[in-house]
Amino acid sequence: MSSTEVTTETVRAEDGATAQVRFHRRPDEPSAPVVVCLPAMGTRAASYTPLAEALAGAGFQVAVGELRGQGTSSVRVRRGVRYGYHEMVAYDLPALFRAVAAAFPGAPRLLLGHSLGGQLGTLYLGREPHMAAGAVLVGAPSCHYRGWPFPQSLGMLAGFHLAAAFASVYGYFPGRRIKVLGNDSAQVLRDMAAQVRTGRYDVPSSPEDFEPGLARLDLPVLAVTVRGDGMAPPAGVRGLCDKLTSARVTHWELVLGEGTRGSRHYGWIRDNAALVERVRAFADRA
């Protein structure tokens, strides 16, 4: 197995926003598949370093992107800063995937999207399906409230609309201060609240209805549900995958070890051996 070279590159979106992407290259195996990791809401790309290292150790090349407003993003979440699903899908992800294609010419690409990163990555591939050979969605549900069992479903519906209303008044969502996810734009919360209510990816920030693109997406998809993950229950994960009517979707439940620390929604990032093995098998088929 060849050694891995780790580098960082700044990616600039069409509207001028920048973020760093970390590349794990295999100089002796430049055609090895590239896994493009997209983080969850309010989560820095650096949090996925253990996963990236494990994927690199399994023979993959890796690119870890950053969501707008998080980590190395030049967009700082504060009052007056507006961005939503539209800016991330129309500007950030095209810039990221173009940078990955340039850094790894000739190597097949796989999306590995976690939670909101999986949703946004799928919306992007619905627009540009040629940019990946397949997608792995980990704990990535449709946020439609009906994907949660009663009475949690009503809590989802009320909670996200309350959060969106609060963020609109406050100027942004201060997740770190209230210890719920991370800081994010009020527009992201409005987009999410709309999707929680309607179940559709036809959101306030975008002039585009993303639903037709999801239905046309013709790629192999591995949809991973983490047992015990209350933030992405099986019905929620299926809610997103049911929109991918042209895709070849395989569902798989990941069971973490009893000693896994923290939330099941994030614990797999470190307790990743079973997932990496399954991604390797999926990549071989895809």
Q: Is the peptide bond before 151 cis (omega within 30 degrees of 0)?
A: yes
What percent of the chain stands above pLDDT 90? 92
Averaged pLDDT for residues 78-103: 97
Amino acid type, 105: P
Q: What's the whole-number average pLDDT of the chain? A: 96
Predicted confidence at residue 96, as pLDDT, reads: 98
Predicted confidence at residue 2, as pLDDT, reads: 62
Domain boundaries, the chain: 5-142+208-285
Per-residue pLDDT of 114-131, as tens digits, reads 999 999 999 999 999 999
Dihedral angle sign, alpha carbons of residues 114, 36, 179, 228: positive
Per-residue pLDDT of 127-157, as tens digits, reads 999 999 999 999 999 999 999 999 999 999 9
Distance CA 149, CA 151 (A): 6
Q: How many CB atoms lie within 10 A of CB 176?
A: 13
Q: How many CB atoms lie within 10 A of CB 280?
A: 14
Distance CA 58, CA 189 (A): 36
DSSP string across 130-162: GG-SEEEEES-----GGGS-TTHHHHHHHHHHH
Distance CA 13, CA 173 (A): 23
pLDDT band for position 13 (cuts 50, 70, 90): very high
DSSP string across 164-192: HHHHHHHSSEEHHHHTSS-EE-HHHHHHH
Predicted confidence at residue 233, as pLDDT, reads: 97
Query: Virtual CA dihedral for 145, 159, 46, 268, nearest 10 degrees?
Result: -50
**What tokens does 150 get?**
């009663």
Predicted confidence at residue 36, as pLDDT, reads: 98
pLDDT band for position 1 (cuts 50, 70, 90): very low
For the chain, the distance separating the N- and C-terminal CA atoms, rounded to the nearest angstrom, is 22
Choose which CATH entry (3.40.50.1820, 3.20.20.140, 1.10.300.10, 3.20.20.70) describes domain 5-142+208-285.
Answer: 3.40.50.1820
Per-residue pLDDT of 177-210, as tens digits, reads 888 778 999 999 999 999 999 999 999 999 999 9
